[in-house]
Structure 1
């Protein structure tokens, strides 16, 4: 009983130290393939360097869009444990290439399955999309984008030309007035013409007045000189003033 317990504990210790677990991984999960070209099915096997895990078989198969399973390829492996790697975990890739792909019906999920004596592991699979046009769609997309941009530019230029033509036809006088205004504003001040003379019409009465003034200027009347005082009158005035003073 004690010996059996020792074996069990030893086995558990070996599993803990050397890993003791196996696994199958497939990356990336999605791939795109073209017709007449090949595709590589990834298969990464993880196992410990132990005698019971160094011998295994690998099976490749795929399931199409209708759910039909088809075997592709299988191989057997017998790994030699490197010195100093006992009970260590090993990771080895076993990718299988399929070529060429004849038609798009090869679209589906491809699996890698590994079998040991008492263990069987299957990867999560890789979905492969098989296309027959390649990158032609991308070029068409660029052509459509360029064509659409060119069309928009042509429509924009045409609309602008129509607006300018309509404005020129409907508003010719406004354009002429603007041109004349610009010419007048651009002329220097010295070049402006002098203001026209202003004439005033005279009525009949004003004509008579001017005629009378003209007659007066032609025949001036003699001026009367003021009378001069004689010495006699001056003497009489002086005498009267003296008499007045004496009476006072």
Structure 2
């Protein structure tokens, strides 16, 4: 009798140990999906290979942004037990594929597994439904326009610096040009007065000398017969007069 009780308690302990190994996992916790594209709700069931746990029911549902619990579907599963795998742990995936109709399909999707006396609930997967995917934009025109604007700004700045430098370093040239323009615009003035005579800057005795030379040059020419003595005489007289004046 005592031996029979030990066998019964051992069997119940094995059942409790086997029941404690059942679990439901859902990974990854977050998914992003496009509209009109299918998405799989992960549901991985972990259980021991025992007749009691090879048959179970799976329930799929989701909770929307308003907190409403919306069922999707449910189905019964029966996993065949391989020979020689009794009391070992099995891990089987039962993913369910759905189609997102609109962006309001965003929410958390759950998988719940129920045995006769045990039920396990997964942690859920948050699914973000998007209207459009990533569109690769072309930045060719934007880069070209940016470079053009930058080059134009640099050209204008360089021109302004050159003009400013010329204005600072060459003020005299600008003044000369202004004066030249003023002179060109003014009417022609009267002719300048004639220069003073050459003799004005000479002393009085120098003027007498030049006057004597001029008188000699203005005397009438002599005849050929009287040319030689009169010429000598004139030169002597002019020499005396020149020495006297000096």
- TM-score, normalised with respect to structure 1: 0.61
* 1:115 maps onto 2:114 in alignment: yes
Note closer, same or farther for the CA distance 1:58–1:52 as it changes in structure 2 (3 Å cut): same
Cα distance in 2 between the residues matched to 1:164 and 1:57: 79
Matched, 1:165 2:159: yes
In 2, Cα distance between equivalents of 1:9 and 1:57: 28
Contact 1:19 1:88 in 2 (8 A): no
Number of residue pairs matched?
A: 168
Q: Distance in 2 between matches of 1:117 and 1:13?
A: 17
Question: Offset of 1:153 from its aligned partner?
Answer: 3.3
Distance between the aligned counterparts of 1:58 and 1:83, measured in 2?
25
Give the equivalent residue in structure 1 for 2:150.
Answer: 156
Partner SS, residue 62 of structure 2: strand
Instruction: Tell me how far apart the structure 2 counterparts of residues 146 and 154 of structure 1 sit (CA, whole Å).
Output: 11
Unmatched 5+ residue regions in structure 1?
Answer: 176-248
TM-fit CA distance, 1:78 = 1.5
Specify the alignment match of 1:93 in structure 2.
Answer: 93
Alpha-carbon shift at residue 171 of structure 1 (Å): 3.4
Q: Secondary structure at the match of 1:102?
A: coil
1:104 has 2:103 as partner: yes
Q: 1:24 to 1:158 in 2, by over 3 A?
A: same
Q: Is the 8 A contact 1:19 1:89 kept in 2?
A: no
**TM-superposition CA deviations, 1:213-246 (whole Å, max 9, x none):** xxxxxxxxxxxxxxxxxxxxxxxxxxxxxxxxxx
- Partners of 2:90 and 2:126 in 1: CA distance: 26
Look up the match of 2:68: 68
Q: Which segments of 5 or more consecutive residues in structure 2 lack a partner in the other structure? A: 171-246
Query: Cα gap change, 1:85/1:106 in structure 2, threshold over 3 Å: closer, same or farther?
Result: same
Aligned to 2:6: 5
- Cα drift, residue 6 of structure 1: 3.1
- The CA distance in 2 between the partners of 1:168 and 1:56, in whole Å, is 88
Q: Any idea what the Cα deviations from partners look like across 1:186-221, whole Å, max 9, x if unmatched?
A: xxxxxxxxxxxxxxxxxxxxxxxxxxxxxxxxxxxx
Alignment of 1:123-138 (within 5 A): 123-136=122-135
Paired with 2:75 and 2:122, the residues of 1 have a C-alpha distance of 16
Give the Cα–Cα distance (whole angstroms) in 1 for the partners of residues 15 and 112 of structure 2.
Answer: 25
Measure how far apart 1:19 and its partner are: 7.7
Q: 1:15 Cα deviation (Å)?
A: 5.8
Label 1:87 to 1:70 Cα distance change in 2 as closer, same or farther (>3 A). Answer: same
SS at match of 2:58: strand
Alpha-carbon RMSD:
2.6
Counterpart mapping for 1:7-22 below 5 A: 7-13=8-14, 21-22=21-22
Map 1:177-192 → 2, pairs under 5 A: none
Aligned partner of 1:206 in structure 2 is none
Counterpart Cα distance in 2 of 1:32 and 1:57: 27
